[in-house]
Amino acid sequence: MEEIPHVVLGKAVKARRTRQGWTQTQVAEAGGPSHATLVKLENGNLPKLTPAVLAKLDQGLNWAPGSAVAIMSGGEPTPLETSRRAVVAGPQHIPLPVEELTNLIKLSKVVDTGLAEADADARAVRLARRAMRDFLSRIVGRYATELLERNGGPDTQLPAIIELSFGELLDQPLDPDNALEREEQLYRRWLSGRLTATDVETEDRFRARWQHSQDVWGSAGEGPARRRA
């Protein structure tokens, strides 16, 4: 009996990943689908594959564009072995001490005020102010995400101090132009209990991401987030 295309693809994805020594998280961070999606696909439990997911598989597994589609059609993928993975690059993340984050917020206010006083009507000034606010929002958002992962999550009551500190950030309108930032915003809302109505795929994706964070901190001796009694 011929194997179902999505099952064939799942096996090819797992074979490529394990042969290269990559974890599912590493594939996701390299531009592939989410960790939860990869788990389902490799287990043969993801029959619905969108063009976006297929394109992300090519990116995350370092295949030539169209490779995932080719596999589902009975063909073979085209590895790009002369890729960025052959080069040892610098870290993708660097620590940002809370003190520096505070300094960045202060600097943003100084720059914002100065630009506003210089020429509040100039288009270039408005764009600069918006860019500064957007950048700062992303930086603060990443910090808030980790803090919420450590203190929030399913069936958890957020400490009042976190609600007071990040309530405004959590209530900001969702970014209509940046899909990755929108995903982060939704995840933070889910961690804080603000996102109550979600589809099954989103719920599974966020729960898997949160559980992974608990496993990481548990292995580091920090323990999981405190559950509500």
Question: Residues 91-99: what's their mean pLDDT?
Answer: 67
Q: Are 34 and 28 in contact (CB under 8 A)?
A: yes
Taking the C-alpha atoms of residue 155 and residue 67, their distance in angstroms, rounded to an integer, is 41
Q: Which is more confidently placed, 90 or 161?
A: 161
Taking the C-alpha atoms of residue 123 and residue 102, their distance in angstroms, rounded to an integer, is 28
Taking the C-alpha atoms of residue 25 and residue 216, their distance in angstroms, rounded to an integer, is 12
pLDDT, tens only, 59-78: 999 999 999 999 988 899 99
Domain housing 163: 98-219
Q: Which is more confidently placed, 150 or 82?
A: 150
Taking the C-alpha atoms of residue 181 and residue 55, their distance in angstroms, rounded to an integer, is 19
10 Å CB burial of residue 143 (0-12, 13-18, 19+) is: middle
Same domain for 75 and 114 = no
Same domain for 109 and 37 = no
pTM: 0.46
Question: Which single residue is written with the structure tokens 């950048």?
Answer: 135
Same domain for 185 and 103 = yes
pLDDT, tens only, 13-70: 999 999 988 999 999 988 999 999 999 999 989 888 888 899 999 999 999 999 999 9
Asked whether residue 229 is domain-assigned, the answer is: no
Contacts of 170 (CB under 8 A, 6+ apart): 144, 188, 189, 192, 194
CATH number for the domain that contains residue 76? 1.10.260.40
Number of domains in the chain: 2
Taking the C-alpha atoms of residue 210 and residue 197, their distance in angstroms, rounded to an integer, is 17
Closest of 70, 52, 71 to residue 201, by C-alpha: 52
Look at residues 25, 56, 86 and tell me which one is the last residue of a structural domain: 86
Name the 3-class secondary structure at 137. helix
- Cα Rg of the chain, angstroms: 21
